[in-house]
Amino acid sequence: MTGGLLGRLKAAFRGGGEAASLPDGMRIYAVGDIHGRDDLLRELLAKIEADAKARSFDRNILIFLGDYVDRGLQSKAVLDRLTSERLPGFEYVFLKGNHELALMQFLDDASFGKSWKYYGGLETLHSYGITELTLTDDPAAFERAREHFNDVLPEAHRHFLQTLETKAEFGGYFFVHAGVRPGIALHRQIEEDLLWIREEFLNSNSSFGRYVVHGHTPNEEVVVRPNRMGIDTGAYMTGILTALVLEGEERRLIQTGARESAPAKAV
């Protein structure tokens, strides 16, 4: 990452906001929404591995903020990678996104498919070879697709989806998919808000008790506020998949695509 970007990141956090840091010897890589872009995930993981090798830490923790599936064309490949490959020496934390919730709801209830299909689910189904819904919204086709999906979904993928966490806390940071409801203690937040909230969270200037790192709401550039950072850079559209790197009080970015590093956007 360039010195200019580091300067802009530091400037964005001067004055007020949550004073957040990690314990000595701990480094965290937080990865934004992947949305079926295994090509970008592969590239980003290679960059993360190289970055970690450049300077050793006692603990390297890799946190994924959810929305692994839908929209992009490689959802199955993403889950294949996340359930079968591990960077050596890393601890992994996988958070649940609203798109994983939608996928699991379709597996239980075919009638939900009409919503999920146009929400990115059709691309996910195609990645598993399920084409029953390509040209129809016939309720019977949704039931056939649900049965087909249940038949072909690898058990490792099902277990992964069933065991995702809704939040993670390290040092002064709180990691979540969508955000938190202002005015509610972090330990009292409900899953619906952690996976879905937007405006009430995004427009809040309140302290949340910890500095919140989240995805869910895409922007072309990382969005920095005194109380939160949004790192969903719309990978399936932009080709930019972002990882936020945290070391002590330092914050920096690793990204895929033509832009090796993108400026943080203070708003």
Q: What is the reported pTM?
A: 0.91
Residues 31-66, buried b or exposed e (16+ Cβ, 10 A)?
bbbbbbbbbbbbbbbebbbebbeeeeeeebbbbbbb
**pLDDT by position in tens, the chain (length 267):** 444 444 444 444 433 345 799 999 999 999 999 999 999 999 999 999 999 999 999 999 999 999 999 999 999 999 999 999 999 999 999 999 999 999 999 999 999 999 999 999 999 999 999 999 999 999 999 999 999 999 999 999 999 999 999 999 999 999 999 999 999 999 999 999 999 999 999 999 999 999 999 999 999 999 999 999 999 999 999 999 999 999 999 999 999 985 544 444 444
Stretch (H or E) spanning 36: none
Domain annotation for the chain: domains and CATH numbers: 3-96+164-266 (3.60.21.10), 98-153 (no CATH)
Q: Helix, strand, or coil here: 144?
A: helix
- What is the pLDDT, as a whole number, of residue 15? 32
27: region left, alpha or beta (phi > 0 left; psi from -120 to 50 alpha): beta
- CB atoms under 10 Å from CB of 152, counted, come to 13
DSSP state letter for 227: T
- What is the pLDDT, as a whole number, of residue 257? 82
Residues 70, 120 contacting (CB under 8 angstroms): yes
Q: Which of 152, 100, 105, 108 is nearest to 131 (CA)?
A: 152
**SS3 of the chain: helix, strand, coil, percent, to 5:** 40, 20, 40
Lookup: tokens for 154: 């690898």
- What is the pLDDT, as a whole number, of residue 145? 98
- What is the pLDDT, as a whole number, of residue 18? 57
The span from the CA of 174 to the CA of 30, in Å, is 11
Residues 137, 115 contacting (CB under 8 angstroms): no
Q: Say which residue the tokens 């075919």 belong to.
A: 110
